[in-house]
Structure formats: C-alpha cells, structure tokens
Structure 1
Amino acid sequence: MSEIARRSLISELGARVRGTVIGRDHSEYDEARAVWNGLIDRHPEVVVRCADTDDVVACVTAARTHRPIVSIRGGGHQVAGSAVCDDGLVIDLSRMRDVVVDPVVRTARVQGGARWADVDAAAQAFGLATPGGEVSETGVAGLTLGGGLGLMQRTHGLSCDNVLSMTVVTADGAVRTASADENAELYWALRGAGRGLGVVTEFTFALHPLGPEVAAAAFVYPAEDAGAVFRAWRRLAAEAPPTIAPQFALWALPPFPGLPDEFVGVPVAMAIGTYIGEPADAAPVLEPFQGLGEPILDLSGTSTWVEAQSEFDFALPDGGRYYWKSHFTDELDDATIDLIVEHAARRPDPNSAVFVRTLGGAIDRIGSDETAFAHRGARFNVSVDAVWSDPALDDDAIGWARGLWNALEPVSRGMYVNFAGLGEEEGADGALILGAHEERVERIRLAYDPDGVFAAAAARP
C-alpha cells in the first residue's frame, strides 16, 4: 500500500473501532504480528484487535474501501500462519474469547477468537464436551472451518459436524447467520472450506456428555520394533469401535511429567487412544493397545478431559518452528509402513514426528456432500510433523517433511487443510483439500465475495 492509502486506512479504523488499532510504529506491533509458528515472519500494515462484531464490520467496510490484503486471526495457531499477511490488514479476533454454555439444550456459543482450552473448561463445568483439537491452545475457528480432527472424531464427528450455526461478517459488511435454515450454502461451505468466505465471529456447537474423567491407553514400544508394532496397530485400528480413535506415532519422548530421565528424547513407537465414554467401561477397548508387542513403558491412565486435551501443549510451545503436511489415505500396506518407519528414523530433530490418526465412525455417518469437508470415507490421516527450534535446521526439517509427504503421494486421497505445509503449492493444494467440492466452494465464494475482499485469505491454506 502507498503511504497515503496506509494512513487513510489506519485513520478510518481508528475512528470506527472500539478495539486496538496497531500500525507498524505501535509499541505492540511485533507482539501483534507474531503467531504460534516461529517460522512465520510477516509484516502487516495494520492489525486490528477487535472488541466485538461491530469492530469486525468496521474492518470489513474499511477493507472494501481501501482494498488491502486481508487476513483473519482467530487463535493464531495454524501451521501455515494464515492469521497474518504481509503489507495488509489483519482482522484479529484473539480478544473475543467468550464461551457461553447452555447445559439444558447442550450447546455452547463460542466467540471466534476462543481457543479449545476456553471451550473445554466452560463445557466441562457441566460434564459436557464437543469435538476439538488435540492441543488446547489451538484456535476454535481455524480448526473448525478446516474440518476439525480430534480425539472425539469417531464418536461424535469432526468439529465442523457439531456446528449448529455461525455468525458471519461477509464481504459486503453484513452480519449473517449461517445454518441449515439460513444461508444454507454458506453454512455448507464454512464446514470444511471456510477460509476466505467471511469472518466468523461466533459459533454455536452441540455438546455431548463426557467426563470429568476419561481413560486413555498410551503404550510405548522400542523404535527397533516400530514396523511390527505399526502392522499390529493397523489391525487394531481396523477393529476398533467408534468410542475410540486409535493413533500411532513415531516420535522421541518429550519430558512428560514423571517420565524417567533415561526415556526422555529416546526414539520410540507409540500406540495411543482415549476412550470417549465412562472410564469404568474402557478396559475392553483399551486392553488391545498393550498387546502390539513388548512395551517399554505404559503411560496409560485416567485423567480429566481438560488434562487429556492439553497434555501435549508443552511439547508444542509458542515460537517453535513447525512444518506439518498430511495425507488422507486408505492404504497402510506393508510397503507404506516400511517407508514411513524408515523415513521417520531420519528425522533431523527428535521433536519431529509422524502421527497416524484413525478415521471412520461418526465422520462417515454424514454424507460426503453434506459439508464441504471432502475426505469422508478415508481410513487414516498420516501427518508428517517437522518440529524444531534452531533456524539453522529450517531447510533440513522442511526437506525431511516434504520428502516423506512426496513419497506418500501415490497412496493419497487428499490433504487436510489444517496440516498443509506453508501453502506453497496453492493451486495444487486447493484440489487436494477440496476434492470434488472445489467448484461448488468457489461458486459460493464468488456469490458472497464477488469483489475479492477476502481473496488472499481464500488462497492461503
């Protein structure tokens, strides 16, 4: 933007919003442009920390007039760093974190800047929960609009499957309700392909009874047994009931509380699963996780749901460097398992990992065309998660993750938008993310944003 345009935009925003307008010369600028992924280093012209929906309307109205690049920040936790843009306007909802639970009708109204920790704490006060992310600091909006994988996915579906309605500021500055009864096409698109369709300032989620305590299996096997354990886990995943979503990880153990020092940083294979139901009923479902080989550690046990949702937070701190890229797949044949195990053994940083999540169950009870999420019917999601802290490792870490992701392309049936690298392959990634829904999504984008106010947000995974 030119200096005149920049000053005009900032002046208009300063006069119209109740929140904080942060330009490049503001004392909080560097804090405001930082996101969870320390690999992201973008410099917007202005960040507006919105106080309410009216502030969002003011931002969108100003964007229509001055036409800056626009990005939208919820929790700021997305790997690609799509919350911030270079040389544009960031509509920042991170101060809008209220959660209001109605325990009678079992719903939660959640503002667009909330994180899953906010939702979990509020809902658990009434023994309720809704499917959310596996890290409590993840933003509700970004995860949900991209689909929303999580521990409850096979029991109660994806995060987007549990959204009853959304309040959305669209590109014309109007405040709309998106639900099955109002703006139904927008509602369809926001559930799985929601980026660039508007600014969601509030979600209403369905809640389900759960907790306060849940039981989980977490068995740790030696790295040299990884291939055999992975094959045994494949059988377990195929037979698992929908009350659990088995996970398999090739990782090096982080310093979990109480973990003996001799195990910290040791490469291992892990079989993990949280039972979504009463802990007293969990034993028959969790017991098979122990029988995949000869475990070296048993980290299983009972915890609160809030603890289960946040136990990995410490291993993924703000400012770490992250590059995650994933495939949905139906195939984990022996050759694919051998490829994953061999490549995982060459991680350039021990904090990096490969996570395999089991799909199906409630995810597939919703028809493939009922939402924009395009990957119903897939059996697994394989996520290649490069995690490191030393900038000198950037090329090696990204190269390792991309190398395995590329090698797995022959068995891929699409990619999860929330684990989509840095969006460096926008054209190809759009087809991988949206699949057969790509044309319908683009028609809806054009209908609600014919002038491309949110064009940059739509293009950035």
Structure 2
Amino acid sequence: MGSTSDVYASLKEMFESSGSKAQVIFPGDGEVYEQSIKRWSEHCEKRASCVVKVTTPDDVTTTVKFICEHKIPFVVKGGGHSTSGSASIEDGLVIDLGLMRKVTVDEQERTINVEGGAIWEDVDVEAAKFGLATVGGTVNHTGVGGLTLGGGYGFLTGKYGLTIDNLLSCNIILASGSQVVASSTENTDLFWALRGAGQNFGVVTSFTFRAFPQPNPVYAGPLIFTPDKLPQIVAYANKFHTQTDGNQALLWGFSAPPPANTPVVLTALFHNGSEEEGKEFFADLIALGPVANMAAPIPYEKLNSLMNPSVGFDGRKMFSGGAFKLPLDPGFVQNLYQEFVDFVLGKNRMNESMMLFETIPYKEVVKVGNGEMAFANRGDYYNLATLFKWFDPTLDTEVRDFARTLLKKASQSAGVVQDVDIRSVRGVGQYGNYSNTDVPASEIYGSNAKKLEELKKKWDPENLFDRGTRLVPRQVVVVN
C-alpha cells in the first residue's frame, strides 16, 4: 500500500471516475480545507487528513467501504455542533454530510423526510410552508442528525414528546456499506438502538418524522432579570411545574452576557398560542419587572432562532448536563448561582457561559418507557445544562472538572430531594447529548446498555462506529 496521501488521493480519483459530485478535500486545499474542519466549538477543531463531503447515500457507502479496506480512522459530521469532539479527528477522515440538507414534506401524510446533513432551520422553514412542524432543537443551527440520534428535546416536547418519539424511520449505511431502512416494521432491533444511541451503529442518511399542524404564531422570547429576582423566579418555576398543560416551556438560568458582562438571570418563555393567552399564563413572571422583555408573537419557524445570539460559533465550548426536580428550594439555587458566577467571573472571565434549568414539560416524555428504545432519560425530572465558553486552551481541564462537580452537586441534591441520586427516580438523569463520550455507557443508557452491546455485535461487530458513548460489541458465549 502506498503512502497515506496516495491512499486518500485514490479515493478522490474513485469519486471522479464514477461521476459522483462528492468533494474530497485535503490540508493543502487552503481556505476550503480550513472551513471544512470548522466546528461550533473551537475546542473540537482537529486537522483531519481528508474531508469527504458526500452528496448521496452511495457516496457514503463508497467511503465506508474504502475506510474498511484501508483501515482508516474516521468520524461522521452532521451539523458539527457537538462539544464532545465526536465529529472531529486528527490525522483521519471525516465523512461530512453537510451537502445533504434536502427536506421534503408530505402534506397529506403529515411526514417530513430530512437528509442527514440538515440543520433544524432547514426543517422548520420547509415544514412551515405547509403549516406543519415537528419536535426539533431549541437552537436552529444544531444538526438534525446529532440531536435526533441522542434523543431530542424541544419547545414542542411538552405536547408531542421527544424528537425520537416522532421518528418514523431512518435510512442508514452500516459498517458493511449496506444501505438499510430501520423502522417499527423493518429491522426493528436496529430502530430500537438508533433512538438514543444512533451514532454507534452507522451513518444515517435520512430521517422521516411525524409532523403536526402548526398554523399559528407562538408567543415566545427572553426576559432578563437582575439577580435579586432569583428567589421569585425559582418560586415561579415551581408554580409553572404545576400549571402547564404542555403548551408552554420555560428555560431559566444564569449568565453574564456582553456588553455589560454583569450577572443576570435569563428566562426564555414559550406558549403555543396567542399573545393574550401567553401574557396571561406568564403574568406572574412578567410582573416581577424584567429589565428587558423581548417576548412577542413570532412565527414558529423563527422560534428556534431566538437563542442563536447567545450560542454563536466563536470560542471554545463545552456542554454538560444533569437533572433537577421541582419544586426547588430558592436557597439551594442561590448557592448554585453564586458558585457559578464566582467561577465564570473569576480571573479567567468566562462571562458568556450559562447554566440553564430546562423546564420543558415531561408528561408526554414519560408515557414511553425507558426500555422501549435505547434512550433511557425518562423520568419525573427536568434537564439541567451548563454551557461554558472560553478561549484559552490551557483552561480545558479546569472547565471540564468544574462543570462536572457543579452538575453532580446540583443533580444529586436536586433541591427538595436532598442527597438522593436522581437516577433512582426512573431514568438515568443524564441526557446523552449533553454528555462527554468518556462516561460509562451505563450512565447514559442504564439497563439498556447490555442490550446495546449485544446489538453492536450484530450490526457493527468490528466496532467501526466507535466515536459516541463507548459501546463494545458483547461477545456471546455458547456453553456446550
């Protein structure tokens, strides 16, 4: 076999001779290459030896077979939004789905077919042309594939459940290069695994989702408060928990955003209905006197862009997650606030970081059992997230350690359930999309981890797709 560069060059020649429109990009290709390795977090940018921008499932099959033949390390990139580093690689190959963003809506069947490289903006905008929507991410430049394969919470979760609860089928390229369909009627065990642990089993080139009527604008937007209002906001969140009918959501937490760079309490409210109804539902929160109130009627397809300014593409970033139960004790939250603020406004100035209590109703989520698909984070609790943003690479370890310590404290205490492990209350209490890939599979999948390892043996016996939460194919021992 020739040199590494010769091997990759032969892949490019293979695509050119076949008439494929796939783009094969190398480090010597200047700005085209530099853009191809860009990620949402600079923390996750690595210098790949080759980036293959595929355009069809056949391109993916060709690339996967080539990888296997030449034993090339690789990753798959969809939206490039992960902060775990699973979509980047040093001295290996990237299968980049970014040119596969077509969205097709079937108005009669109320389904949406989405190519594997699409972002949620693509889906929201196209579905809105037909007065439809599906459960997607709260930030619309997030990739459809990554969010879906890890579960998927969104503003419509309170009404319709998770993204994977509305996933009807997937087209996937396996380690063998085979193209198969996984659904409730075809390859059902693979479909079970894809809904929560999808990146461990292949390259999903398209998704089909159930869609719902969404003809009306929604009432939504941020309200910003001074920190002295935190106890009242916690009290409001406790009340929200008991009064929502699933048509609302409330995100709230702490940050110190520019230009003032001083601590504030952020809230983002959502009501799937009229402005009058929304203002009535959130009246007690509005009455607390925010220093800024940007809530207003907005078309649904614009909703998931509201948080985009606070999660831009510069800097190093890390998502981490835990869980919390309501009602919360205001004093407990005040302590978390102080610890968070002391860290982000200390000597390292990470003021664009945030800690977010994602109060998205879970009534529909828990109607599905934790054993019905690989996803195992269903319970009577909410997701708690931190997003740290910094610029100095020497702080990477310090940020990771602080985030883990803070979230462990918050999750285990969880306010009114002091010193009780949240995992004892159904579900694992850990959202896989907010986790790093170095955690044990049992922390993300609970008792489903064993079955997933058995399915790895069937569908990916050589563990070709090894970049997500670690699942090692389970060897089946036959006793004579």
TM-based fold match above 0.5: yes
Pair 1:450 & 2:461 matched: yes
Structure 1 residues not aligned, in runs of 5+? 256-263
Residue 306 of structure 1 deviates from its aligned partner by 2.3
In structure 1, how many angstroms separate the alpha carbons of the residues matched to 2:402 and 2:341? Answer: 11
Aligned to 1:202: 206
Partner of residue 49, structure 1: 53
Equivalent residue for 1:83, pick from 81, 87, 90: 87
| Farther off after superposition, 159-168 or 436-445 | 436-445
1:106 correspondence with 2:110: yes
Residues 221 and 306, structure 2, Cα contact 8 Å, conserved in 1: no
User: Is the 8 Å Cα contact of residues 233 and 271 (structure 1) preserved in structure 2?
Assistant: no
Structure 2: tracts of 5 or more residues without a match: 414-421, 424-428, 472-480
The aligned residue for residue 11 of structure 1 is 10
- Deviation for aligned residue 1:249: 1.6
Bigger mean CA offset, 391-400 vs 436-445: 391-400
Determine the C-alpha separation between the residues in 1 that align with 2:13 and 2:79: 23
Counterpart of 1:343 (choices 334, 339, 348) is: 339
CA–CA distance in 2 between the matches of 1:286 and 1:231?
Answer: 13
Q: How does 1:3-152 map to 2 (within 5 A)?
A: 4-5=3-4, 7-16=6-15, 17-27=20-30, 28-152=32-156
Matches within 5 A, 1:309-458: 309-330=304-325, 333-334=328-329, 336-346=332-342, 347-348=344-345, 349-358=350-359, 359-389=361-391, 391=393, 394=396, 397-411=399-413, 412-413=422-423, 414-421=429-436, 423=437, 426-428=438-440, 430-457=441-468
Task: For residue 397 of structure 1, report the CA deviation from its aligned partner.
Answer: 4.2
TM-score, length basis structure 1: 0.90
Residue 340 of structure 1 and its aligned partner are, at CA, apart by 1.8
SS at match of 1:456: coil
Decide which of 298, 301, 304 is 2:299's aligned counterpart: 304
Separation in 1, partners of 2:221, 2:283 = 8
Q: Which amino acid aligns with 2:365?
A: I
- 1:373-398, Cα deviation, whole Å (9 max, x unpaired): 10111411110111234556555544
Deviation for aligned residue 1:239: 2.8
Distance in 1 of aligned mates of 2:309 and 2:390: 14
Cα deviation for residue 300 of structure 1 reads 1.9
Alignment partners' CA distance in 2, 1:290 and 1:190 = 41
1:214-293, aligned counterparts within 5 Å? Answer: 214-216=218-220, 218-253=222-257, 264-279=260-275, 281-291=277-287, 293=288
Q: Distance in 2 between matches of 1:446 and 1:10?
A: 33
**Partner SS, residue 282 of structure 1:** helix
SS in structure 2 at match of 1:195 = helix
CA shift, 1:431, in A, is 1.9
Is this contact kept in 1: 2:25–2:52, CA < 8 A?
yes
In 2 relative to 1, CA 14–276 (structure 1 residues): closer, same or farther, beyond 3 Å? farther
Q: TM-score, length-normalised on structure 2?
A: 0.86
Question: Residue 277 and residue 183 in structure 1: after superposition, are their counterparts in 2 closer, same or farther (change >3 A)?
Answer: farther
Tell me the distance in 2 between the aligned counterparts of 1:332 and 1:354.
18
Change (3 A) 1:279 1:225: closer
Q: Match for 2:317: what amino acid?
A: Y
**Paired letter, 2:29:** H
3-state SS, counterpart of residue 181 of structure 2: strand
Q: State the alpha-carbon separation in 2 of the partners of residues 332 and 34 from structure 1.
A: 41
CA drift at 1:451: 1.6
Go from structure 1 to structure 2 and tell me whether the alpha carbon gap of 1:10 and 1:449 turns closer, same or farther (over 3 Å shift).
farther
Q: Deviations over 1:228-272 (max 9, x none)?
A: 4223322322332211122222123557xxxxxxxx434222333
Report how many residues are paired.
Answer: 446
Query: Distance in 2 between the 1:394 and 1:354 partners?
Result: 18
TM-superposed deviation, 1:450: 0.7
Higher RCO by CA contacts (8 Å cutoff, separation 6 or greater): 1
- CA, structure 1 residues 14+406, in 2 after alignment: closer, same or farther (shift >3 Å)? farther
3-state SS in 2 of match to 1:187: helix
Q: Matched residues in 1 for 2:176 and 2:446: separation?
A: 28
Letter in 1 for 2:23: T
Q: Deviation at 1:72?
A: 0.5
Q: Percent of aligned pairs with the same residue?
A: 29
Shift of 1:150: 1.3
Aligned match of 1:459: 470
Offset of 1:4 from its aligned partner?
2.6
Name the CA distance, whole Å, in 1 between partners of 2:284 and 2:398: 37
CA distance in 1 between counterparts of 2:278 and 2:146 reads 31
Task: Go from structure 1 to structure 2 and tell me whether the alpha carbon gap of 1:253 and 1:214 turns closer, same or farther (over 3 Å shift).
Answer: farther
